[in-house]
Structure 1
């Protein structure tokens, strides 16, 4: 039931001796999703015991080098390692040409299929969905087309209340019907209502990743009520004008977004190299949103299961 974010690269465009560019791993019940892939991403994954071969999907927020330069080495390593499972890459429109050039020039053999999914929507758009999860691309406001990503679990299957099992001698067919949400009418006319006899065992969990962006009014609505919010915080209060000029956010602005959205927890990252000690950014964020943490290489932020009281 794991649902956790491991922050790896937490620097902005210029890396430092102790901070790599953007790269993060979201682990949802053992499924690994790489979000952004800055230079050195594969080394960071190996350093922290994260399997490259188990990557299922890669989500690239935008086509700036500090968010994509690591993908070429990663793709090469996967090929040399004999990966056979398809790899899905979600990135803004135009990445296919870059991808095709690299694979044509530098990969002598392709052992696996790369499926590219272009991000083109001007509004929030579900770009991946299966039985357990949805991923929504969120258009942001940066100097190039840029997207955030909202990962949300689907509601789990219904469980039968213990009182229903002990008090009604349910058959297997009745249990299956009730767990599917259907009422059951017995031959004697007794009506067993699914709403009375079942419950949702836990609330779906959610994570939102807000990459490079200037603040804008509708952003909090796109991540309303999220359990864990990662938001870029390139600058501090001292560089508020520069943040606006470069279409970035300050730590305080990230915190205000979390507050307005009703987020449960905030993690800030993507720190400018001018901040040797980003704890000053943490303090500015906590002034507005106390439940804020600094992203740092190898830190894991768990979203716990929220059991629903009966």
Structure 2
């Protein structure tokens, strides 16, 4: 849309007593504009109607020589497609200059001329719209990462899922059962990890890289440049969002020597115990025999 300026001069608030507004109104003529329209109160209903009438005639860039642009801001708003150039001849000229002096007149005319030229060089800005990536990168193929990937895919977005191990499932695949997520916890239930893995692998919007790691991420939200390292090959892609779903790391059992870990092979971590349970048999690592009694030490390392 082209902008077409028209000048207006306010004679109120002492401006008419400080400068010759009739002479001032002729200043825009030197720049190809019509003589400015003079009104005693441009901020009032009649003054605003005068400017609105000009806008309706296609003059969508009013150059208003009146009070400071900090004053009566809402009074000089005429719609989203109208640009208003405010020229301060009240505080900047009338209230600080000797009334009817040559300096006051020249100053007011110079201000108005500058406002007119600025208006003539004004144009609507063209928005910079960057094409953003809608692909979501999920780092970590455990239950959290897989659940996030499925939710994103079902929302209609493409997903790239990166897992450092050969198989998806993360820590949960080492467990035999888990507590229910809802309802009464009267008995453990199956982990459901296999079903989740199958759902991920059969989802056309999800691309799985495993085993693989994220070699680098640069850029910004919406425009992340990602390099995935998989089997000695680097894969470059762009992602708009990154979901970090890594982090489960058991406590280092080497620090639990005072509890017998490392001294007796039959002292194991809960993770090792869960792996035994997943295989269906609790045995003594020392000789492979069946364990007849089990002692649990809770909160090892945190108390």
Q: TM-score, normalised by structure 2?
A: 0.23
Query: Per residue, is there more strand in 1 or in 2?
Result: 1
Tell which has more relative contact order, 1 or 2 (C-alpha 8 A, sep 6+): 1
Q: TM-score, normalised by structure 1?
A: 0.23
Structure number with greater Rg is: 2
